[in-house]
Amino acid sequence: MKKFSLSILVAFILIFPMLPWAVEAALGFGDPNFQKVWQRTDKILTERTGVGRGFIWGSDSIFAGNEPYTDVSGGQRTVQYFDKARMEVNNPKGNRNDPNFVTSGLLVKELVLGRVQNGDDPNNYAQGYPSEVQIVGDPNTDGANAVAPTYRSFKNLATFNQDNPVESKLGQQVTQRINRAGIVTLNITPPDPNVRLTTYEPATRHNIADVFVAYGNQRGLVWNGSTYVEDALFVTSSSPNATYIFGLPITDPYWVRAVVAGVEKDVLVQLFERRVLTYTPTNDANSRVEMGNVGQHYYRWRYQEDLGRKGTPPLVPSTDYSQARATYLKSGSIPQGGPGKVSEYNTGTNFSSSWPVYDPDKKLAIISAGGTLLAVDLSDFNHPTLRWKVVGPNGFTPVTLFNGVVYSGGEGGNLFAVNESDGSLYWQVTIGGLGFDSLIVPDATSLYLVRGDGLLYSRNLSDGSPRWTAHPSNGAKVVSGPVLDPDGTIYVGANDQKIYAFKPDGSQVGTEVWLPETLDSFPSKYALAIGGGRVYVGTVNGSLYALNKNGTIQSQKKLSGGQGILSVPAVVVDSSGSGRVYVGSDEGRVYGVDANNVANIEWTFSAPGGGANYARSSVAVLDGYVYFGMDDRNIYRVEAGNPAKYTVLTTAGNSFGTNPPVVNSGYLVITSRDGVLHFIR
């Protein structure tokens, strides 16, 4: 018997059970060689009982037809999906006696990476999101199997390009467990202490459990085209190793908890390029090792879930930057503060200049602080707990949450995309040496951001890869923004004291459409907002401007004697553009001005006590109240109808700087500069 050694590539597929005898006729094979491959191992299972093994491909076909693939004749290849895998014919004019005439794609690899390979070129792929389908056990309908890991859970453990290797552990027990969040616990007491690591694959540098090695080397009755004979199931003279079916191992084996037939139990799981193998020690001897339903999972992910894009959380935020965190504001009960209604979470980083987001559905507040990105669970309001932490993002970049993905920046020009639910990393890219602390603004396909090199960047939302860079045609450097108009126009401020407009393709909007006028000084880093058909800009000299959609100045007002406006203008207007714009200033006041004429001051709040008291925290306006923090360390709630009526919701141990509050579903969330998250209800 030849050993279960892994070093070639090729595999296959299966799905739902049917009545014996009718199965083969009902399959409707898309190619005669598909039938030949399926018959060899699975035909007997539809005709006899007590065979002593499960299906290799499956008793039914999910789909038979063509899929696009650029490197085959006509750009389409013949495929057939079964429960366990996908069969493929890449060259229908090839030698049908060649054992590799029928192949199978690297479905597990694609499910974990969240991408579909569209050709032989490794860079020719469609990017989606790693699959959230449970890798083993019952479907997770209505949370029936929420405990089991998904394909995404293994993303940071799997090897695809010499990454995540594991040293040889031959002879050792399997003493590691992984949970749904992808967190690995070492040195557990193994549910089956007899399972050992007995094979090491040098190509991917992963260990293989003995139960899976034995499964790959097993013999049994197979169909030779005319009768049943005993032979190796996976290792034959024409296919000299089990890689033909399984592919290379891309992870070590891990114990998991999963709900199987309604009962939660321990299962050993190992991922290979083409298959997932499971070992359930409590099963009967003939069904302890089984093939995972990879073909079924992949078909669902690719065609029903649009590469994981469907079934994700609602699109948050939209392109509304009329307030600093407008997209994270949501009406609810009015935050009151006071005993039992204020809590804190100290990140321990001693610094944060981050803008938080809050997801009321998950009771999750997310900020960057120090050199980390953190998610804090507010399920128990009085005892907030850390849900997850990612090392790398800095404490300066405003956090953006979009479609269940958290985006943040780090030192050295690193950009991070993180799963909101568990903190697992979707991707990390390095843009270049300089860091950045601008807003990260998304649309349906792209991210837009500004860096210290004076350029506006666009990156692909799916993987962080570059789309374009841009700067004003006169060579001016970008110093503020970006903000995104609902019509797709991107606005930025430059060091020549002008506001520029760019199209989604990176080209600058021409002067016949947008002719920028010169402001009295630089626009402040964050002090850009859009609302009511105008662009509002605050400058470092303390002036507020309203710009028409052609770049000309509609109105302006110097609000403080040379002291800057660093907060984002909060634009609260109706469909006609009428309403109010709120800004804070370095003279310690928060102003509300007429949105149609910013020279008309309608509302002013000065903190009690006087003295130097910067108002740099961008305000949140919701349900008739104005919320903000100030350098006196107080968080204020002020009536929009009467600035004399205010409440100090709580006093922090440090100032708030430019950190704005988020008010959502009755909760206020804000970060003080010492890295403490404050929660008020």
Residue 530 corresponds to which tokens in the numbers above?
A: 């859009």
- pLDDT bracket for residue 595 (50, 70, 90): very high
Residue-level pLDDT at 242: 66
Residue-level pLDDT at 12: 29
- pLDDT bracket for residue 25 (50, 70, 90): very low
Contact 237, 3 (CB under 8 A): no
| pLDDT tens figures, 382-393 | 999 999 988 877
Average pLDDT of the residues in 477-493:
91
Residue-level pLDDT at 612: 62
Cα–Cα dist 205/211, whole Å = 18
In this structure, how many other beta carbons lie within 10 angstroms of the beta carbon of residue 125? 16
Residue-level pLDDT at 525: 85
| pLDDT tens figures, 389-410 | 888 777 678 899 988 889 998 7
| pLDDT tens figures, 191-221 | 999 999 999 999 999 999 999 999 999 999 9
In this structure, how many other beta carbons lie within 10 angstroms of the beta carbon of residue 95? 9
Contact 30, 38 (CB under 8 A): no
Task: Kindly give, in sequence order, each residue whose CB lies less than 8 Å from that of residue 338, ignoring residues fewer than 6 positions away.
Answer: none
SS3 assignment for 656-667: CCCCCCEEECCE
Does the pLDDT value for residue 39 go beyond 90? yes
Instruction: Give the DSSP letter of residue 85.
Output: -
- pLDDT bracket for residue 148 (50, 70, 90): very high
Cα–Cα dist 648/382, whole Å = 19
In this structure, how many other beta carbons lie within 10 angstroms of the beta carbon of residue 99? 15
- pLDDT bracket for residue 74 (50, 70, 90): confident
Average pLDDT of the residues in 667-681:
92
- pLDDT bracket for residue 641 (50, 70, 90): very high
Cα–Cα dist 484/461, whole Å = 15
Residue-level pLDDT at 575: 66
Residue-level pLDDT at 619: 93
Q: For a pLDDT cut of 90, what percent of the chain falls above it?
A: 56
Residue 171 corresponds to which tokens in the numbers above?
A: 């002879």
Cα–Cα dist 587/567, whole Å = 12
In this structure, how many other beta carbons lie within 10 angstroms of the beta carbon of residue 97? 8
Residue-level pLDDT at 8: 28
- Answering whether pTM is above 0.85, one says no
**Every domain of the chain and the residues it spans:** 23-304
Instruction: Give the DSSP letter of residue 97.
Output: T
| pLDDT tens figures, 152-189 | 889 889 999 888 899 999 999 999 999 887 778 889 99
**Among 241-245, 300-304, 667-671, which stretch is predicted with the lowest mean pLDDT?**
241-245
Residue-level pLDDT at 64: 86
| pLDDT tens figures, 337-360 | 988 999 999 998 887 777 899 998
Does the pLDDT value for residue 26 go beyond 50? no
Cα–Cα dist 188/635, whole Å = 47
Task: State the chain's maximal CA–CA distance in angstroms.
Answer: 96
Q: Which of 59, 462, 43, 91 is nearest to 295 (CA)?
A: 59
On average, the pLDDT of the chain sits at 87
| pLDDT tens figures, 117-134 | 999 998 898 888 889 899
Average pLDDT of the residues in 433-439:
72
Contact 84, 56 (CB under 8 A): yes
Residue-level pLDDT at 394: 75
Average pLDDT of the residues in 561-571:
86
Cα–Cα dist 321/531, whole Å = 8
Instruction: Give the DSSP letter of residue 301.
Output: I
Contact 634, 593 (CB under 8 A): no
Q: Is the dihedral of CA 187, 188, 193, 196 positive or negative?
A: negative
- pLDDT bracket for residue 611 (50, 70, 90): low
Residue-level pLDDT at 323: 83
Cα–Cα dist 498/478, whole Å = 10
- pLDDT bracket for residue 599 (50, 70, 90): very high
Residue-level pLDDT at 522: 86
Cα–Cα dist 362/376, whole Å = 10
Contact 24, 242 (CB under 8 A): no
Higher pLDDT, 611 or 109: 109
Q: Which of 542, 634, 549 is nearest to 584 (CA)?
A: 542
Residue-level pLDDT at 587: 85
Name the most confidently modeled range: 256-265, 347-356, 417-426, 430-439: 256-265
| pLDDT tens figures, 253-304 | 999 999 999 999 999 999 999 999 999 999 999 899 999 999 999 999 998 8
- CA end-to-end span of the chain: 69
Which amino acid makes up residue 147?
Answer: V
